[in-house]
């Protein structure tokens, strides 16, 4: 009986060794390009993570059974209010222009943008401070981070301003934002989004006004300015040719 048990043990050991040798052999067939990549070299971490996943699936519902559900509705509402409040703080842009006698920067676009944004976001926080409202607020906040980063760098002197060639792309990004919001407003009407219909139409008209105004600004500030500069260079070259003749 003892010899039979030893033989059975040897058979098991040989089977395990054969399986391990086969496993090592399969590793030699693996693609060299992914060697050393995360979770690729060995199946151990993969199985460990799968086991952890199954444990969470099994014990998770039991653990959550008596727990209190956390709601983030109020957090989103507060975030929308802070965004609304930031539109009030942006009035200081205009005040600083006045104090510095930069009256040429008090354009219709500037005044229209600052005054209407504060009003329309009051409507947002008053009636629809939800996730649907939070998304454009978050996107616009990110764009304003880029804008005020540019403005902050622009006052650091010539050593920094030479790297601010990307100013016009801020306007392009803003126009992309307005176009996206316009598309979302139109789509919301067609799919029957749970959002006041009059707000969809207001959003559409408001975004169209921004696209038109920012588009005119872009043409005047960059396209027309470039054409005028090119014509000036051509005229200067022509005058120099006439003088040389």
Domain boundary among 43, 64, 85: 64
Residue-level pLDDT at 240: 63
Chain segment 201-210, per-residue pLDDT in tens:
999 999 999 9
Residue-level pLDDT at 2: 56
| 146 plus 229 within the same structural domain | yes
Residue 3 lies in a domain: no
Residue 1 lies in a domain: no
| 92 plus 59 within the same structural domain | no
Residue range 44-55: average pLDDT? 93
Residue 122 lies in a domain: yes
Residue-level pLDDT at 25: 86
Q: Catalytic: which of 113, 114, 144, 200?
A: 113
| 132 plus 217 within the same structural domain | yes
Residue 34 lies in a domain: yes
| 227 plus 113 within the same structural domain | yes
| 107 plus 48 within the same structural domain | no
Distance of CA 137 to the CA centre of its chain: 11
Q: By C-alpha distance, which of 133, 129, 104 is closest to 200? A: 133
| 79 plus 55 within the same structural domain | no
Residue 4 lies in a domain: no
| 95 plus 18 within the same structural domain | no
| Enclosing domain of residue 213 | 74-241
HEC assignment per residue over 55-91: HHHHHHHHHHCCCCCCCCHHHHHHHHHHHHHHHHHCH
Contacts 24+ apart (CB under 8 A), 143-149: 143/170, 143/173, 143/174, 143/177, 144/86, 146/170, 146/173
> What's the whole-model pTM score?
0.67
Residue 220 lies in a domain: yes
Task: Give me the residue label for tokens 């054409």.
Answer: 227
| 40 plus 109 within the same structural domain | no
Q: How many domains does the chain have?
A: 2
Q: Please, what's the largest Cα pairwise distance for the chain?
A: 119
| 110 plus 147 within the same structural domain | yes
Residue-level pLDDT at 81: 95
- For 140-185, the DSSP string reads HHHHHHHHHHHHHHHTS-HHHHTT-TTHHHHHHHHHHHHHHHHHHH
Chain segment 55-90, per-residue pLDDT in tens:
999 999 988 888 777 777 688 899 999 999 999 999
Taking each helix axis from N to C end, the angle separating 108-127 and 197-218, rounded to the nearest 10 degrees, works out to 160
- How far is it, in rounded angstroms, from Cα 187 to Cα 209? 18
Residue 128 lies in a domain: yes
pLDDT at residue 245 is higher than 70? no
Range of weakest confidence among 100-104, 180-184, 240-244: 240-244
| 162 plus 59 within the same structural domain | no
| 129 plus 217 within the same structural domain | yes
DSSP state of 130: S
- The answer to whether the beta carbons of residues 124 and 133 sit under 8 Å apart is yes
Contacts 24+ apart (CB under 8 A), 196-199: 196/127, 196/128, 199/123, 199/127, 199/128
* E-strand stretches of the chain: none
DSSP state of 169: H
Domain boundary among 30, 46, 64: 64
Other CB atoms closer than 10 Å to residue 133's CB: what's the count? 23
103 is known as an active-site residue = no
Residue 37 lies in a domain: yes
Chain segment 122-148, per-residue pLDDT in tens:
999 999 888 788 889 999 999 999 999
- The answer to whether the beta carbons of residues 78 and 133 sit under 8 Å apart is no
| 101 plus 210 within the same structural domain | yes
Return phi, psi of residue 41, to 5°.
Answer: -65, -35
- How far is it, in rounded angstroms, from Cα 55 to Cα 43? 18
- How far is it, in rounded angstroms, from Cα 45 to Cα 49? 6
């Amino acid at each position: 009986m003892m010899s039979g048990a030893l033989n059975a043990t040897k058979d098991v050991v040989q089977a395990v060794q054969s399986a391990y040798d086969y496993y090592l052999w399969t590793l030699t067939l693996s693609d060299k390009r992914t060697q050393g990549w995360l979770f690729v070299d060995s199946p151990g971490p993969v199985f460990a993570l799968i086991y952890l996943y199954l444990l969470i699936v099994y014990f998770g519902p039991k653990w959550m059974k008596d727990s209190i559900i956390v709601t983030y509705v109020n957090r989103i509402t507060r975030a929308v209010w802070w965004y609304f409040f930031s539109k009030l703080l942006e009035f200081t842009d205009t005040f600083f222009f006045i104090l510095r006698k930069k009256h040429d920067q008090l354009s219709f676009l500037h005044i229209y943008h600052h005054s209407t944004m504060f009003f329309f976001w009051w409507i947002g926080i008053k009636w629809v401070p939800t996730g649907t409202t939070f998304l454009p607020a978050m996107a616009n906040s990110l764009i304003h981070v880029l804008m005020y980063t540019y403005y902050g760098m622009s006052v650091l002197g010539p050593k920094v301003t030479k790297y601010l060639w990307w100013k016009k792309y801020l306007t392009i990004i803003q126009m992309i934002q307005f176009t996206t919001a316009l598309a979302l407003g139109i789509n919301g009407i067609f799919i029957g989004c749970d959002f006041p219909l009059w707000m969809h139409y207001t959003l559409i008209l408001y975004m169209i006004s921004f696209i038109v105004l920012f588009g005119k600004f872009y043409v005047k500030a960059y396209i027309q300015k470039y054409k005028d500069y090119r014509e000036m260079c051509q005229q200067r070259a022509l005058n120099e040719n006439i003088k040389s003749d």
